[in-house]
Amino acid sequence: MAIEVVTGNHAAGYALSVAAEANRVGRGAACGIYPITPQTEIVEFVARFPFTKGRVIAVESEHSAMGVSIGAAMAGARAFTASSSNGLAYMTENIMVAGYYRLPIVLAAVNRTLGPPWNIWADQGDTLYLRDFPVIQLYCETNQEVLDSTLLAFRLAEDPRILLPVMVIMDAFILSHTQMETDLPEQDLVDRFLPPLELPHQLNFERPTTVGGLTWPRETLSQRLEIDEAMERVGAVYEEHRAAFEKIFGRDPGGAISAFETEDAEAVLIASGTIASTAREVVRTRRARGEKIGMVKMKMFRPLPVDALLDAMPRATKIGVLDRDYAAGVGGVWWHDLRAAMQGRRDDVMVQDYLTGVCGGDVTPAMLDEVIDDLLGRRSAGKPVWKGIDR
Amino acid sequence: MNVTLETQDPITCCDECLVRPGNTNCGGCGMSVGLVMLDRALKSAGQRCQLVIPACCGIVTAGGYPTTGYSVPVLASTFAASPAFASGVAAVRDLNDEPHQVICWAGDGGTYDIGMAALSAAAERNENIIYICYDNEIYGNTGGQRSSATPPGARTTTTPVGKLERKKDIMAIMAAHRIPYAATLSIAHPEDFARKLDTALHLEGFRFLLIHSPCPTGWKSEPAESVELVRLAVGSGLFPVYEVFDGWRYRITIKPNGADPMEYYRRQNRFPAAAMDADAVRAEVAGATARLARLAEVFAAG
């Protein structure tokens, strides 16, 4: 173990590399890479990594980067790639394919505002827009969480009960370019955590199927149902691997959700990514003043861990969702999804949306104080409330 | 029935042929002949292959899952990215010291048009794959729309009065990448066809093969005349049959025999007579033939 002060990009690049290297006793590792700010350092890291049995192919586009990784995964290798913003949008067709092909590809994604206009700052809209594809999404709060989640992502993705791509996600610059103390595990520990990959449906001369050719509605439907069943299993399987992670690496990589002061809370903020850090501190301060408020950090967005969320806040009647994203004509994606998921289960809860830090704006403690004041003063939910706009 | 990718065995009827009997291809399809030729060349060379096929008739050939029209592993790729998918497959093959070929099998849409960036990039990286384009000069799989491989004058559903522009010279583009091998193949000349496949199978690096592939539904031609049509294309110089080594050493392998290009046009109903100027066609073909002959003379393949 070596504790170093590194950026989020470095943590992701390191984790992707050592995870891939762990498959050197299997069919090796291969991936396609393409740069985009603020993700570029990740692919630069993996391009320099001295893989024993691996090939990193610098291609001409994000679409092809994921294409190479799909080909490599289908040939049985451990595969990954990374992207951000418009790069993810361009990669989308092949991210979708990786999901429907049930390939355990890990995708490091740095949240950046989709353009136009050209904006390189944090906004979760680029990854949340992939919400309808069979891809597990994990949002990280710290660089350590980026590293841990990336290692865990491979184990989760490659579990035969799951076999789905996993996106490990961090905020542009707030994590990608900010250095923090991070425990970078040695290769032998990673080897213990990640056994060689044996993809059950890899290209095989003994069973020469045509993967991805025409299927009839019945077969396609059957495959969709299997994805749904795999998604249903993610929560429990994640917990198994989380425990295994803690045993090997000696620290908790974090749950699908992390609740803070929610047991008796009447009002709860829901945050993800780095906004969770700010929200936790604001809640801590106001708790000290006797206010019954709490906060939940959502790490997992797909599948959406609604049961865990509801269990964590049994007394909440007011929920404020912090969305660093905006879906045109809808409001916040987290809010939209959470509100829909709660329907029929907790109809007594008021769920209000706050658009905070959209397009990379700062989310300050003062802003979250305003959010809490607004939430506490409300009798009913209204339209999404934009924060941080001057006009 | 719960069909899974992991557990469902393919339903097979013939494990000996690359493309099995009972597939859904049209009568007179040049691609079908190309697949049979590929099968023979692989057997002759004692090699086997994995196929990467983008959206095109070649993936429809597989039929409906879990049956498959192919006896080899096939990975369907997205339309624009078959060379990228194949690069990943080939990388893992090489990491594991496996001897089989990784072959992209793509139509002109996936090659000349939507797949051009990925194709150029894979060629530039000199990926160790064979890329075969069966060029039917039309988007046959979507019912016959214009492609950049469609020749001037040809009527398609999106060029109702006949295409106005030239056909893209993809061989020049691929040769410009200085890849180890690029060749054009005609199903009317099977010996030449087989020899070029064999040459490709015994080279390393990026190899590009272009097959002139009749599409009776798109060409509005008689299926029984497919081979005769492409023979006319070769004889008249409309489809030059040659090979290029390392991007600059040329060899014309089947020389034009003086056939009239207008005969080729007349025997298909895709060329409205009003759109065809015989003198202009003959002049264009003569110019292209002379240019290639000069290249082959000055930069001869040894």
Residue B14 predicted with pLDDT over 70: no
Residues of chain A contacting residue B120, judged by C-beta atoms under 8 Å apart: 60
Distances from the Cα of B183 to the Cαs of A344, B36, B208, B300, in angstroms?
A: 65, 18, 7, 14
Q: What is the pLDDT of residues B54-83, one digit of tens each?
A: 999 999 999 888 788 899 999 999 999 999
Nearest residue in chain A measured CA to CA from B127: A57
Kindly state the percentage of chain B with pLDDT values over 90.
88
Residue B16 predicted with pLDDT over 80: no
Q: Report which residue type is found at A350.
A: M
Residues of chain A contacting residue B68, judged by C-beta atoms under 8 Å apart: 208-210, 213
Strand-strand pairing, B241-245 and B249-254: antiparallel
Residues of chain B contacting residue A200, judged by C-beta atoms under 8 Å apart: 5-6
Whole-number pLDDT of residue B67: 81
Of B8, B73, B80, the CB nearest to A205: B73
Q: Do A57 and B63 touch (CB under 8 A)?
A: no
In sequence order, what are the residues at sequence separation of 6 or more whose Cβ sits closer than 8 angstroms to the Cβ of residue B236?
Answer: B256, B258, B259, B260, B261, B263, B264, B285
Whole-number pLDDT of residue B7: 52
Distances from the Cα of A366 to the Cαs of A42, A50, A64, A290, A295, in angstroms?
A: 33, 46, 44, 18, 16
Q: Do B71 and A208 touch (CB under 8 A)?
A: yes
**Is B74 at the interface with chain A, CB within 8 A?**
yes
Q: What do you get for the CA distance between the two ends of chain B, in Å?
A: 59
Residues of chain A contacting residue B3, judged by C-beta atoms under 8 Å apart: 218-219, 222-223
Residues of chain A contacting residue B75, judged by C-beta atoms under 8 Å apart: 71, 74, 203, 211-212
Residue B249 predicted with pLDDT over 90: yes
**Is A379 at the interface with chain B, CB within 8 A?**
no
pLDDT mean over B217-238: 97
Give the C-alpha separation, A314 to A287, whole Å.
18
pLDDT mean over B45-55: 97
**Is B76 at the interface with chain A, CB within 8 A?**
yes
ipTM of predicted assembly, 2 dp: 0.97
Tokens 């029209």 belong to which residue?
A: B69
Could you say which DSSP state residue B140 is in? G
Whole-number pLDDT of residue B73: 96
Q: Do A213 and B94 touch (CB under 8 A)?
A: no
Residue B3 predicted with pLDDT over 50: no
Whole-number pLDDT of residue B10: 53
Whole-number pLDDT of residue A1: 66
3-class DSSP assignment, residue A322:
strand
Measured on CA atoms in the order A379, A385, A389, A390, is the torsion positive or negative? negative
Of A53, A205, A213, the CB nearest to B62: A213
Residue B1: pLDDT band with limits 50, 70, 90: very low
Whole-number pLDDT of residue B9: 57
Query: CA of B100 to nearest chain A CA: how many angstroms apart?
Result: 10
Q: What pTM value is reported for the model?
A: 0.96
Q: Do A209 and B78 touch (CB under 8 A)?
A: no
Is the peptide bond prior to A38 cis by the omega test (within 30 degrees of 0)? yes
Of residues A306, A321, A315, the one with CA closest to residue A375: A321
Q: Do B68 and A68 touch (CB under 8 A)?
A: no
How many other CB atoms sit within 10 Å of the CB of residue B262? 18
Residues of chain B contacting residue A68, judged by C-beta atoms under 8 Å apart: 84-85, 87-88, 91
Residue B205: pLDDT band with limits 50, 70, 90: very high
Whole-number pLDDT of residue A389: 87
Give the C-alpha separation, A365 to A377, whole Å.
18
Q: Do B68 and A79 touch (CB under 8 A)?
A: no
Whole-number pLDDT of residue B130: 98
Pull the structure tokens for residue B85: 């998918």
Could you say which DSSP state residue B111 is in? I
Strand-pair partners of A107? A81, A167
Residue B17: pLDDT band with limits 50, 70, 90: confident
Of B6, B65, B85, the CB nearest to A219: B65
Residue ranges of A 173-212 with Cβ closer than 8 A to chain B: 200-201, 203-205, 207-212
Query: CA of B243 to nearest chain A CA: how many angstroms apart?
Result: 27
Q: What is the pLDDT along chain A (391 residues), one digit of tens a residue?
A: 699 999 999 999 999 999 999 999 999 999 999 999 999 999 999 999 999 999 999 999 999 999 999 999 999 999 999 999 999 999 999 999 999 999 999 999 999 999 999 999 999 999 999 999 999 999 999 999 999 999 999 999 999 999 999 999 999 999 999 999 999 999 999 999 999 999 999 999 998 999 999 999 999 999 999 999 999 999 999 999 999 999 999 999 999 999 999 999 999 999 999 999 999 999 999 999 999 999 999 999 999 999 999 999 999 999 999 999 999 999 999 999 999 999 999 989 999 999 999 999 999 999 999 999 999 999 999 999 999 987 6
Strand-pair partners of A322? A354
